[in-house]
Amino acid sequence: MQRLPASATGMAVITIFRLIFSSNLMNLRLTQKTDLDPIRKVIETAFSDEEDKVIVNLVADLLSETTTPPIKSLVTEIDGEVVGYVSYSPIFSHRDAGITGYILAPLAVSPYHRKKGLGSKLIDEGKRMLSEDGIDILLVYGDPNYYGRFGFRKETAHSFVPPYPLRYPFGWLGVLLSDIVVGEIPMKFDCVTSLHKPELW
């Protein structure tokens, strides 16, 4: 058998190592401000041309806005490359309803890495993190066919009145994270400044 030169053997070993592990090196972590550029790439490939500029600006705003309680966001990486992103921001009730809540927005996974459960991980980890913080409800404005998989229901969200009229009211959904009972009285709330833009609703 012909022997490969040492350097070629080394390259072959590295290539095989990469092939074996490339699909396994998934990492989920809190976002840092320096993640904006890689997240921008995910957004630009995940959303349509009409939507992506608005969403990229939203991500930049969310990463730089400071609130109490804090905006929390996560990225998933595969082999060190950011391929998914989600942000969770607090809501502020107009009256003291004794309920704490967050909004999930936006969520995106690169088209090259979809259907591997990355979107689910970003949502499940967000729900876990917020439950641990004692948050009562998580709201989202999105596709019921997708978010329904994670327990989001329109009945749970209907008492929560967003800051702007909704273009797609059927997409307004919520999931309870605690055993709190949500009353029937409509509860107006404000969101963080980054989301306080009529074009996002």
Q: What does the binding site for ligand COA look like in residue numbers (CB under 6 A)?
A: 46-47, 107-109, 114-120, 142-143, 145-146
- Beta-strand ranges (E) seen in 54-192 are 72-78, 81-90, 92-93, 101-109, 137-141, 160-161, 172-176, 187-190
Asked if the peptide bond before residue 163 counts as cis, ω within 30 degrees of 0, the response is no
DSSP letter (8 states) at residue 180: P
Minimum CB separation of residue 59 from ligand COA in Å reads 12
Minimum CB separation of residue 76 from ligand COA in Å reads 8
Residue with tokens 């969403």, as numbered in its chain: 55
111 vs 183, beta carbon nearer ligand COA = 111
90 vs 106, beta carbon nearer ligand COA = 106
Minimum CB separation of residue 9 from ligand COA in Å reads 37
DSSP letter (8 states) at residue 34: G
Minimum CB separation of residue 190 from ligand COA in Å reads 22
Minimum CB separation of residue 117 from ligand COA in Å reads 5
Number of residues that make up the chain: 201
107 vs 187, beta carbon nearer ligand COA = 107
109 vs 187, beta carbon nearer ligand COA = 109
46 vs 187, beta carbon nearer ligand COA = 46
Alpha helices in 5-117, H assignment, sequence order: 6-22, 36-46, 49-64
Counting other chains too, the contacts that 110-116 makes at CB distance below 8 Å and 24 or more residues apart are 110/41, 110/42, 110/45, 110/46, 110/83, 110/84, 111/45, 111/46, 112/45, 112/83, 113/78, 113/83, 113/84
